[in-house]
Amino acid sequence: MNPAERSRTQIAVLDTGGQYCHLIARRIREQGVSAEVLPSATPAEQLRAFKGVVISGGPSSVYEPGTPTVDPALFSRGLAVLGICYGMHLMAQLNGGRVERGERGEFGPAWLEIDDPDVLFSGLERRQPIWMSHRDAVTSLPPGFRRLGHTDTCPVAAMADEARRLYGVQFHPEVVHTRRGAELLANFLFRVCGCERDWDPKRQLEALKQRIREAVGDRNVLFFLSGGVDSTVAYTVTIRALGPERVHGVYVDTGLMREGETEFVAAVFESLAAGNFFIEHAAEEFLSALAGVRDPEQKRVIIGEKFVDIQERILERGHYLDGHWILGQGTIYPDTIESGGTAHADVIKTHHNRVAGIQRLIEANRIVEPLTSFYKDEVRELGRALGLPETILSRHPFPGPALAIRCLCTDSSEPVRRLEDGWILPVRSVGVQGDSRSYRPVLALEEFPAPGEELHDEATVLINRNAGINRVVALVASHTALGRMSTHPSEISPERLARLRRADAIVRRLAHESSFDRRIWQFPVVLIPVGDAGRPDSVVLRPVDSVDGMTANAVLMERGLLDTMSGELLSLDGVAAVFYDLTHKPPATIEWE
């Protein structure tokens, strides 16, 4: 943001490393208020032009040395300040309160009880659902503060010093799971800070084109395209900024794509008739590089580095290395945030656009990424402003590493293990708990009950009760009893990829025919190496609803459709069982790896 724009921005969001830091800024923009993310240590003097400040959550503990902090003078400059989660902990500690580690973490839905209504909760119920993600808690209020609310396990869930316009909440109002979070933020913005509506996303397109021109200069841009929303919009807006003769696009067929994906992508860009587009077939290279690899982070790194290798080869072959060409990518905010892209963020997963080879290109000023300030829904709005068809903009997101991260692998044979609450599947998946990465086994319930929201609540309760897991699934149907299943040594092989590709095609077809795909944001289909000797794999269904991928709700399917889907999936060779993922994000990520 240039200095002129900054001088007009109303809210500063101080980044303490929370996975939702930029989501806070986005939620503020949704209220029509301009917001900018700044480092947590920004001097208070530099913040005085803002109408208010929000301190984000983060993965650290305020009582540990070297953790992110804010300028203590922030609280004595008359600025309105809202601290969220870790931000509330900083507010408490720096004003004379006490923060300590709780007896157990609290991750997921909770009920907030309002003890003392205040302007922050104006118009809201005395009891309301919220979303928690924390281990530490305020155990002693700072002088001048009073408690506004609590939960069953958190004695201080909200606090305030109204005289100084200082507010803190332990929960996350920026996530959709806090159902009245938007109203709470609006109360802070308009009732406490006195903001005016000055932000209109539709006006960002021309400014975005200008930023592209400034970043690219007199060079040209080569995009490596996936056919998804992000890269298509980035490619198109760059063409509109620079002209079609200066922008080329290439789609790399990695051999890890969904059924019919390459043909669809080719048709998309032929219909757009924009720029210069061609396809690079590289399936053998990717599959050879992934042979024998089982670790999910290593998979992502190999795929990212292999992309760089192929990019370099194409650059050389197409004479793109003469200094007049740079690379373009469709990287958006969640890609950089979950990869530790903010100042203090914990790495949740390594994104293929942020591996070492890509970082070297960034450092060499050889990449332009037009969309790194936007979230998925904002990218779709940009696409609509560009006139792109809904067949592109309404597509479900598909990960860059493609089916490689939905084909889980293991190097051991280990039986499913019985617990009081269910069965432990000896495979691990990625989660996000307390703004930190977790990589833990999965708890499987033996039966899939009738659909109901209580299933999701129960999944969260089970995860909070069992510290060694971060995800809960339910068995839908199987050829083999759950207690007789085990893992088997497995890797990414053509046979397993074909099995996953067919399973994904079945799910996509039935979801589309039933219109279920219109109710959800994304539907990952995951292959896990859990089964028996004759049927070594199982399929996990993971339909979720989200706005931008930063948080997500698991969505339940009607039983008739689920039975039809599981019946077709169990007819596939090598498939032992079908499971259904019941877990929200957080504590689980959308993808399993």
Q: Which residues are catalytic?
A: 85, 172, 174
Q: Tokens representing 285? A: 């290279």
CA dist., res. 420 & res. 414, Å (int): 19
- How far CA 345 is from CA of 35, 334, 582, in Å, comes to 19, 12, 26
The values of phi and psi at residue 281, to 5°, are: -90, 115
Alpha helices in 320-386 (DSSP H): 333-337, 356-363, 376-385
Helix (H, G, I), strand (E, B) or coil at 401: coil
Closest by CA to 304, choosing from 367, 359, 231, is: 359
DSSP state of 346: P
CB contact at 8 A, 550 and 499: no
The values of phi and psi at residue 233, to 5°, are: -70, -45
Alpha helices in 350-443 (DSSP H): 356-363, 376-385, 390-393
CA dist., res. 573 & res. 569, Å (int): 9
Alpha helices in 273-320 (DSSP H): 283-290, 296-317
CA dist., res. 68 & res. 40, Å (int): 7
- How far CA 224 is from CA of 308, 310, 355, 360, 399, in Å, comes to 10, 10, 16, 17, 14
Cis check for the bond before 586: say yes or no (omega within 30 of 0).
yes
Residues pairing with 428 in the sheet: 441
Residues pairing with 423 in the sheet: 418, 444
Angle at 37 between CA 35 and CA 40, to 5 degrees: 130
Cα separation of the two ends of the chain: 34
Return the number of other C-beta atoms located less than 10 Å from residue 280's C-beta: 16
